[in-house]
Amino acid sequence: MSRLPHLTPDELDPEQRALYDTITGGPRAAGPQRFSLVDAAGALTGPFNAMLVAPPAGQALQGLGAAIRYETTLTDRVRELAILAVAARWDCAFERHAHEPHARAAGITETQLEAVRARALPELADETERAALRLVFSMLGEEDVDDVTYAETVPIIGNRMAVELTTLVGYYATLALQLRVFRVADPAGSGPR
């Protein structure tokens, strides 16, 4: 059971309503829906409900998420593999449920998904994808990104993609933490997180 109330549209103050409208009327709502942004009562699902509790932080967080999802140089495949690597690192069932369908739609195979779930680099034919995921997995390790990994990956992906990936990892790690702390169940019913 979630630790936060599920705020329905009629319970929202003006600041919360503005954020709600931004989330439900923005690019997340316009694209392919892999899970519903709202439940039957109109409350936001997943990480979005928590954003309503602290609207200024929520507005900044949703804006960052929208930028990461829709305004970067990351390909769909790199973005979804990186998100799922974060989900695997933080054992975040909700993010797996939300993003594995996007990954499949981008052509990522079940074998590649299984590798990422196991926190292992999948076999990837594309050099940029391999370098990007290697950098992401290094970020998610116990140590900092070492000089060798940095020197072998960033020249392939470029500084911009490196910055976008570090931002993506931080954003989805934040969501995974919130999903865990607030006990948000994933829509598939596999429990919290």
pLDDT tens, N- to C-terminus, the chain (193 residues): 689 998 999 999 999 999 999 999 877 777 666 678 888 999 998 899 999 999 999 999 999 999 998 999 999 999 999 999 999 999 999 999 999 999 999 999 999 999 999 999 999 999 999 999 999 999 999 888 999 999 999 999 999 999 999 999 999 999 999 999 998 876 665 554 4
Q: Quick one: CA dihedral 177, 178, 180, 181, positive or negative? A: positive
55 Cβ partners below 8 Å, 6+ apart?
A: 15, 16, 18, 19
Calpha distance 175→170 (Å, rounded):
9
CB atoms within 10 A of CB 95: 23
Pairwise CA distance, residues 12 & 139, whole Å:
37
Q: What are phi and psi of 150, to 5 degrees?
A: -60, -50
Instruction: Give all domains of the chain, ordered by start, each with its CATH number.
Output: 9-70 (no CATH), 76-180 (1.20.1290.10)
Residue 43 amino acid letter: A
State the greatest distance between any 2 C-alpha atoms of the chain, in Å, as a whole number: 54
